[in-house]
Structure 1
Amino acid sequence: MLALAVFAQGTSEFMLSGLGPDIARDLGVSLPVAGSLTSAFAVGMVVGAPLMAALSLRWSRRRALLAFLLVFLGVHVVGALTGSFGVLLATRIAGALANAGFLAVALVTATGMAEPRAKGRATSVLLGGVTLACVVGVPAGAWLGQLWGWRAAFWAVVLLAVPAVAGILHSVPGDSKTSGASGVPEGAAATGRPGVRGELRALRSTRLLMTLLLGALVNGATFCTFTYLAPLFTGVTGFGDMWVPAVLALFGLGSFVGVAVGGRIADVRPVPLLVGGGAALLAGWVLFACTAAHPVAALVLVFVQGALSFAVGSTLISQVLYAAGGAPTLAGGFATAAFNVGAAVGPWAGGVAIRAGLGFRSPLWVSAGLVAVALVSAGAGRRVWLRNFDSASTPARVK
């Protein structure tokens, strides 16, 4: 049910790429102005993740999830009904804040309900909702927009998220509410949930900060290329426009396979997965850049790079939660923010390369560069990664 809610939220985040022209015509604004709706959502995710996660510390997890999800539903109802671009922009910002808070709490809730050494698998199930949004949600949203207008896509997001409300009420355990002048949850001792100050102290871990940096770099590489797959395949590989949805779906399918398979390895062999997967990811981006003009190679690498990107990325998220056992909720918020920083910086860097006249292959080289920086950073801090962690901070002793 949490993954279903994340699927609805991921669909909402990405679907405007196919609805922008319709929104611009309907609300009487230019296409670049309509495009600012996507930027507003991204900024809301980056800023909102740690802030909403801190706010949620005063609530039970079930209450926090319900509050964020109901706000998300409400702003989409308003967005579907409004005739004002300003109101729609405000709903996108509010929706992003609610999405960020929900994802941060959902990460710790899902991993908390799983076995102690199964954070990676629980994370992969949750993030499967994001990858399915790329495979199914975004094309379906564009299709609904073509049939019945952009508002229909907003209503579809609302309908998708409603069952998750019932699922949260039925399945997520309730815990103690906050009270007292100290600002520390009454149930903290029983539930192991520290207050805001306690979680902030736990976030000073060098290992945690490095993991957040690596997550931002890897996700930046992923979305750098994903954003420009359409011009790459039409301008370099030689495919027609009709192939673009299939290419995007193939990348999304690879992403789904990556989180599914990576989740089974992340809890027992995280460092080999990150090192081996990171090296393979770098090699794949370089190979993709060199063979982008060959249709078969390009199609194979779209799938492979999607799988590797999300296998490594979801493992980094689970390692954030392992590294911050004393600050699970804020760690989820900062992980969400770090990955959205990557999702914003990567496409920007790819756009800079294209505008510099380097061609539509250049985002592939930018992606390779970002992964290379991640590997060099991990190598420089290898003592953090290669020392033996205790059982409270990692699922297994790293050899």
Structure 2
Amino acid sequence: MPLPLHLLAVAVFAMGTSEFMLAGLLPDLASDLDVTVGTAGALTSAFAIGMVVGAPLVAALARTWPRRSSLLGFVLAFAAAHAVGATTSSFAVLFTTRVVAALANAGFLALALTAATALVPPDRKGRALAVLLSGTTVATIAGVPGGSLLGAVLGWRATFWAVAALCLPAALGVLRGIPAGRDEWEATGTPALRAELAQLTRPPLVLVMLLGALVNAATFASLTFLAPVVTGSAGLGELWISAALVLFGAGSFVGVTVAGRLSDRSPGQVIAVGGPLLLVGWPATAMLASEPVALLILVLVQGALSFALGSTLIARVLHEAEGAPTMAGSYATAALNAGAVVGPVIAAACLGTEAGDLGPFWASGLLVAVALLIALPLRTTITARRSTDVLR
């Protein structure tokens, strides 16, 4: 894989760390800014909503901009937002910086997804996305636990500064690694925005976006509320929360890597095998949550299956959106983050049921079941070849 892909993954690592790090920082942050923990939790929602709305909006605004300078600008804006957030004593200002950071993240990821696939032959798109998305999985393995530890030792502001600092080598990598020349679509003329938006009327594209959102919703439904299960049902100490997150991240890294090698050739097989296993895994996690060893093993396995299936579906979004070369990445980003918004909301509603802390696992199972019920009758549509595809 080309070096620029790995450099883009460094930026994705920094942004992924930022997106997930607040889970371990909220109590300290809320106390410092004199707000409730519930109010501080709105910072997470602000980031996710900013990603969903910002991906297509920013991509539409930046669609005619040079790709390298756009990626550089988004990385620097992301770093600046965290620098301001690290110095403010106002919750309103911090909230604003989270929205700005989300918009920069959305714009960067939307462009990076299309840039990644443009750097490799068509039959290696899945592997290219695996490299790019490994930045997110490494963030869950090392970035988020590391950020929580840094926040515990030096305060939450130190974590914001660390994320800002991570953006600087990433910016240098973008500047040196992304070609300055024009893309093929720029050389032949940028498609009209209306024509690119019209791709959203294609049923296969809408279908894979919906499936990607459902699978990601299931992932975030359980991941968001994993901590109380570790310390409650499993009876483990608080330090095991970080261990469980690392295991989930390690599994996700394996899942993305393996799926990246299979999704180009056999996306249907990844969905047909990974989907049912993921469906069985979430209820099994709920039923075995009181057994610490079983819980930790299942967290690892579910991380692998969730990201294997999710990354394969996102790769299909980019394949189906080939007629929207400047907007395809934003469609994939919006689908991913729509799930990140909806999943925790559904999971939170389940906490008040008889299932209690285990409700999110059952909700995840239900979300995957819905995805499979939609996907199985239409599996040939999901994996159908387009004129420029080389999938088999």
Matched, 1:172 2:178: yes
The Cα offsets for residues 184-229 of structure 1, whole Å up to 9 and x where unpaired, read as xxx7462574231221123322111000000010001111111121
Corresponding letter in the other structure for 2:243: A
Identity among equivalent pairs (%)? 54
The 1-side partners of 2:86 and 2:77 are apart by 14
Report the alpha carbon displacement of residue 391 of structure 1 after superposing the two structures with TM. 4.4
Q: 2:44 aligns with which of 16, 27, 38?
A: 38
The 2-side partners of 1:235 and 1:34 are apart by 23
Q: 2:264 aligns with which of 254, 257, 267?
A: 267
- Which has the larger displacement, 208-217 or 377-386? 377-386
Contact 2:72 2:174 in 1 (8 A): yes
Corresponding letter in the other structure for 2:320: A
Report SS of the residue matched to 1:328: coil
Q: 1:374 aligns with which of 340, 352, 371?
A: 371
Report SS of the residue matched to 1:239: coil
Contact 2:64 2:190 in 1 (8 A): no
Report SS of the residue matched to 1:77: helix
Report the alpha carbon displacement of residue 395 of structure 1 after superposing the two structures with TM. 3.1
1:85-104 mapped onto 2 (5 Å cutoff):
85-104=91-110
Report the alpha carbon displacement of residue 240 of structure 1 after superposing the two structures with TM. 2.2
1:315-326 mapped onto 2 (5 Å cutoff):
315-326=312-323
Q: 1:390 aligns with which of 364, 386, 390?
A: 386
Contact 1:199 1:330 in 2 (8 A): yes
Instruction: Tell me which residue corresponds to 2:210.
Output: 213
The 2-side partners of 1:290 and 1:145 are apart by 33
Report the alpha carbon displacement of residue 383 of structure 1 after superposing the two structures with TM. 4.4
The number of aligned residues is 386
TM-score by length of 1: 0.93
Matched, 1:235 2:241: no
The Cα offsets for residues 71-102 of structure 1, whole Å up to 9 and x where unpaired, read as 11111111112222211111110010000110
The 2-side partners of 1:377 and 1:95 are apart by 34
Report SS of the residue matched to 2:319: helix
Contact 2:15 2:105 in 1 (8 A): yes
Corresponding letter in the other structure for 2:49: V
Matched, 1:58 2:64: yes
Distance 1:81 1:189, change over 3 A: closer
Q: 2:305 aligns with which of 295, 303, 308?
A: 308
Matched, 1:362 2:359: yes
The Cα offsets for residues 335-360 of structure 1, whole Å up to 9 and x where unpaired, read as 11111111111111111111123222
1:97-136 mapped onto 2 (5 Å cutoff):
97-136=103-142
Contact 1:5 1:160 in 2 (8 A): yes
The Cα offsets for residues 98-142 of structure 1, whole Å up to 9 and x where unpaired, read as 001100000000111012211111111111111111111111111
Runs of 4+ residues deviating >3 angstroms: none
Report the alpha carbon displacement of residue 380 of structure 1 after superposing the two structures with TM. 3.4
Contact 2:219 2:364 in 1 (8 A): yes
The 1-side partners of 2:386 and 2:376 are apart by 21
The 2-side partners of 1:294 and 1:26 are apart by 37
The Cα offsets for residues 272-299 of structure 1, whole Å up to 9 and x where unpaired, read as 1112111111111222222222222212
Report SS of the residue matched to 1:119: helix
Contact 2:278 2:305 in 1 (8 A): yes
Distance 1:275 1:191, change over 3 A: farther
Aligned-CA RMSD value: 1.7
The 1-side partners of 2:14 and 2:316 are apart by 25
Corresponding letter in the other structure for 1:268: R
The 1-side partners of 2:255 and 2:269 are apart by 15
The 2-side partners of 1:390 and 1:315 are apart by 16
Structure 1's unaligned 5+ residue stretches are 178-186
Corresponding letter in the other structure for 2:331: F
Report the alpha carbon displacement of residue 176 of structure 1 after superposing the two structures with TM. 4.4
Report SS of the residue matched to 2:122: coil
Contact 1:50 1:337 in 2 (8 A): yes
Q: 1:343 aligns with which of 326, 340, 344?
A: 340
Instruction: Tell me which residue corresponds to 1:196.
Output: 193
Corresponding letter in the other structure for 2:36: S
Corresponding letter in the other structure for 2:375: A
- Which has the larger displacement, 272-281 or 194-203? 194-203
Corresponding letter in the other structure for 2:77: V
Report SS of the residue matched to 2:318: helix
The 1-side partners of 2:190 and 2:250 are apart by 36
Contact 1:52 1:97 in 2 (8 A): yes
